[in-house]
Structure 1
Amino acid sequence: MDTVAQPVDVIVIGAGFAGLVAARELGAAGYRVLVLEARDRVGGRTWTERRLGHELELGGTWVHWVQPHTWAEMTRYQREIVRSPAAEEMYWLGAGGERRQGSVADFMTLIDEGQQLVVDDVRTVMPRGTDPLGGPIAELDDLSLQDRFDSLALDEESRHANESVWVGHVNARLDQVGLSSALRWVAATGGHWQLMHEASSTYRVVGGMSAWTSAIAEDVRGDIRLNTGVVSVTQEEDEVVVTTATGEHIRARRLISTLPINAVSGIEWEPALPEAWLRANSDTVASQGTKVWIKVRGHVPRFAAYGTQHHPISVLKSEYRGTDTDTDTDTDGTVHTILVGFGPDHTQLDVTNVGEVQRAVDAVRPGLQVLEVTAHDWMKDPLSRTTWMTHRPGALTRDLAELQQPAGLVHFATTDNADLWGGFIDGAIESGLREAHRVKAALSSDG
């Protein structure tokens, strides 16, 4: 039976970083805020859960002090960081698929030239990371990351290694990803690709992402309703009417949607979403890959392994071992190591099939026995339908500015439409702060 709830000032759809930060800011300003979250938890595409005997990050994981919004929030909530284990051994493929092993220095020497060439023009086409559209990036935005690699004279060994490194960053096939996605992240670190690599894959949050988002949720002066899906949003003359999956109708003066681009079609919008949102949703963002946690037998030396961009797992790293963990043995006494792997296409790997994962591991780091695997397929999650955001060729300059604009009484806060660290937690926080400010200004002017 349909019910009518008490009206509020602002409804926020989604309780990830963007939604929680926006709700906190608006509640602190004295507005009546209601957060509607379809999941049974806060955190969105960040999610810490105990699996394989460890606290694992099933979604977003790494942070860095060069991400300003992230670091400010970490300071506010007294979060600390811990370094992921530094590799002691590196594995990659040589010419003809020959397996190679060496030191970190060996691998960095192998990729140094290629990594620089990929982003060599970043300071010219995107001089300020905070303004990704401020330079002549439109001249290159139709290029894919694969187009850039194809223009470089790299030998087979260097090419495979360099392409796999970028699969780890963009979580997609390189011909599907705009070169601008690589350039904007390097622009965020002042043009230094080495720092971008460190910022995106080195430091974890002590206590986990879920504890952090729960702490932000506790500061929200308003209701956060979990297990509450939204089926429709209707704009009337001076109100937004939200209908939930249970038939409840809730009115608000403004609404903030924090849904990723790929998931906005899960709600019926009246009037329809702006053309940029419809177009971007139809095209989908490029990142549609795999993140999988793997338990293997024994204490394995800390390593990182790279295949090619066509392998189901292109990047594989040891993450927990021995004294890195709260437990290093199973109840039956089996000593183990926990690995994390990334691949370009979630359809290439059945993460529920230990045998299939074993074959994928063997291809990049042979000699390991897979015991268990776990993952969350964000592509099959109707509330995300993507891992983290990367633009397709041409989409940055075509869509970003429009994606940031309100549509009547509806605002959009998501890492997918952030300026500085789009696709990262930092971008989610940035967008939440931006839209909270806009909503406060709009409500104030409304009287």
Structure 2
Amino acid sequence: MSISAGVAPKVAVLGAGFAGLAAATRLADAGVEVTVLEARKRIGGRVWSEQVEVQDRVCTIERGAEFVLNGYQAFRALGERFGLALVDTGMSYYVRSLAETPSITTEALAHAGQRAAEFARDLGRAASVDEVLSSLGFPEEVDQALRARIEISSAAPAVEVSARALDQIASFAPLPSHRLAGGNQRLATELGRRLGAAIRLGEVVTAVEEREDGFRVRTATGEAHFDGVVVALPLGVLLHGAVDVPLNPDRRAAMSRLTQGHAAKLHVPLASPVATSAVMSVPGRFWTWTAVDDAGTVAPVMTGFAGSTPALAGLEIARGPRQWVDAARSIRPDLTFADSRSMRTSMGERTDVDGDAVLTTWSDDPFALGAYAAHSADLTAADQRALEGGAGALTFAGEYIDPDFTGLMEGALRSGHRAADALLARTRPLACLR
């Protein structure tokens, strides 16, 4: 990608999730002519906030990514840029009581998690979470609790997840957890407002073709020429070949050594006021919580999250939310679930509302084909470099790329900035663009 005298290069950004929006905004701020092609009729991707009415009160539910965690520097900086307020949820994503084995304290589980993380660091070679836990020989109940925590958070079986993830996933420090007031999708909305008409919704990209003079991007409705391309499509879409994108052998091999996670979320209305809470089911491989919203009190909604394909199968997610609701009732006798049809919603795509429950999945969404990614044990440092690297004026962005915040909103934003910076490095001097 090069600059002709005073002429801004044209860049296509494929996808208007957090990664694509972060890349597009960075490029637009530098004077690049950006076109964002998004298959959905909305922006935000797997960050999806909905308004629901429960007990005559409007609440925000996060049908996708939810918690703003420790170290979310890019997220917080963008929030400050657009004047978006963070809400302390009053509970901690990192601390969950065990429904079936309450005798195992949070402190005991934290100690076991720290031992596992230290063992993985001292091992001196790559290993899976399963290998590390099997080597330590924890008591069965502690072992299963750790596995459940890791599999839920990774959205994948422990045998498929790198033990390097233990440093982050096995953290049980009671750090605060936040959300954006009014929903995390508000950040996407503000980024989209900055980009304006550069975003084209309902544009399903089918192929990217590299040519001598740039790139031809084909969609279901036509094609256009660009000087550069940022591919900010979900890993599942790329792995399944849903879009024909040039992938060099190193990148393709690295992507094959990532673990595609599969997860589901559940929202159920409550009939009476509650306190904040976080309770995990070890055999069910899901956890539930209640949290403070921007009204300053605990919202009358229980949220659930189940991670890994075996967990979703065990809860019979493919048949709807009924079995999961029953399982949640069994571990949450402290909650009074509301009567059927007590939660009124105005849902967008992929609605699954069954009585009083809202179920959200991503693996059956053709524009996602999975939740988020995790590193497998055999992902090497060379693989990580291949994931982060670009091929000339073709760069990639997505939560699966970032090495430190893999699978998280922060990772998506950082990868978008990194992809944009790689393109901008090829467009000097930038002064002529401003």
TM range (shorter): 0.7 to 0.9
Distance 1:348 1:407, change over 3 A: farther
Measured against aligned partners, the alpha-carbon deviations of 1:40-66 in whole angstroms (never above 9, x if no partner) come to: 111111110124643111111111352
2:410 to 411, 426, 431: 426
Deviations 1:230-269 (A, max 9, x none): 01110001210011111x1110000000012221121113
Q: Could you report, residue by residue, the CA deviation over 1:194-223 in whole angstroms, capped at 9, with x for unpaired residues?
A: 45x737xx2111121111111111222761
The answer (yes or no) to whether the contact 1:296–1:339 under 8 Å persists in 2 is no
CA distance in 1, matches of 2:134, 2:278: 25
The answer as to 2:303 corresponding to 1:319 is no
1:70 CA displacement: 1.7
Residue matched to 2:263:
289
| Unpaired runs of at least 5, structure 2 | 1-7, 341-355
Secondary structure of the residue that 2:47 maps to in structure 1?
coil
Q: 1:67 maps to which residue?
A: 72
RMSD: 3.1
The residue type paired with residue 218 of structure 2 is T
Of 348, 364, 376, which residue of structure 1 is paired with 2:314? 348
Is 2:274 the partner of 1:268? no
Mark the CA change 1:249 to 1:403 in structure 2 (over 3 Å): closer, same or farther.
same
1:232 counterpart SS class: strand
Gap change, CA 1:250 and 1:90, over 3 Å in 2 = closer
CA contact (8 A) 2:151 2:307 kept: yes
Q: Give the residue type in structure 1 aligned to 2:80.
A: T
- 1:128 matched to which residue of 2? none
Query: Is this contact kept in 2: 1:289–1:343, CA < 8 A?
Result: yes
TM alignment of 1:34-433, pairs within 5 A: 34-51=35-52, 53=54, 54-64=59-69, 66-86=71-91, 91-92=97-98, 99-101=100-102, 107-120=105-118, 139-141=124-126, 143-183=127-167, 185=168, 193-195=171-173, 198=175, 202-220=177-195, 223-246=198-221, 248-264=222-238, 265-269=241-245, 272-282=246-256, 285-308=259-282, 310-311=283-284, 313-319=285-291, 337-345=301-309, 346-351=312-317, 353-362=320-329, 364-366=331-333, 369=337, 371=340, 372-397=356-381, 399-433=383-417
Task: Name the CA distance, whole Å, in 1 between partners of 2:159 and 2:408.
Answer: 21
Q: Offset at 1:354?
A: 4.3
Q: Secondary structure at the match of 1:416?
A: coil
SS at match of 2:143: helix
3-state secondary structure, aligned to 1:219: helix
Q: With structure 2 as the length reference, what TM-score do the two structures score?
A: 0.81
Contact 1:15/1:37 (<8 A) preserved: yes
Paired residues, what number? 396
CA positional deviation for 1:378: 0.9
CA distance in 2 between partners of 1:366 and 1:221 (Å): 48
Once structures 1 and 2 are overlaid, which stretch shifts more, 50-59 or 429-438? 50-59
Deviation at residue 146 of structure 1 after TM alignment: 1.6
Secondary structure, aligned partner of 1:315: strand
State the 1:15 CA deviation. 0.9
- Contact 1:413 1:432 survives alignment (8 Å): yes
Deviates more, 1:234-243 or 1:354-363: 354-363
Q: What do the CA deviations read for 1:391-428 (whole angstroms, capped 9, x no partner)?
A: 12212535211011212431101121113322211111
- SS for the counterpart of 2:361 is coil
Q: What SS does the aligned partner of 1:120 have?
A: helix
Letter in 2 for 1:55: T
1:33–1:222: 8 Å Cα contact kept in structure 2?
no
Task: Look up the SS of the partner of 1:444 in the other structure.
Answer: coil
Q: CA deviation at 1:297?
A: 4.1
Partners of 1:400 and 1:417 within 8 A in 2: yes
Contact map agreement 1:8 1:251 (CA 8 A) in 2: no
For 1:444 and 1:90, how far apart are their aligned partners in 2?
50
Q: Which moved more, 1:34-43 or 1:373-382?
A: 373-382
TM-superposed deviation, 1:101:
4.2
**What is the match of residue 5 of structure 2?**
none
Report the Cα offset of residue 156 of structure 1. Answer: 2.5
Aligned-pair identity in percent equals: 22
Q: Using the TM superposition, give the Cα deviation of residue 14 of structure 1 relative to its aligned residue in structure 2, in angstroms.
A: 0.6
Query: Paired residue for 1:26?
Result: 27
Distance in 2 between residues matched to 1:238 and 1:61, nearest whole Å? 41
In 2, Cα distance between the equivalents of 1:78 and 1:287? 33
Cα separation, 1, equivalents of 2:195 and 2:149: 39
Measure the CA separation in 2 of the matches of 1:100 and 1:163: 14
**Residues 16-53 of structure 1: CA deviation (Å, up to 9, x unaligned):** 12211211121222221100000111111111012464
Letter of the aligned partner of 2:98 in structure 1? Answer: W
Q: Which residue of 1 aligns with 2:426?
A: 442
SS in 2 for 1:285: strand
Given that 2:69 and 2:178 are in contact with CA atoms closer than 8 Å, whether structure 1 keeps it comes out as yes
Q: Report how far residue 283 of structure 1 moved.
A: 5.6
Aligned AA for 1:314? F
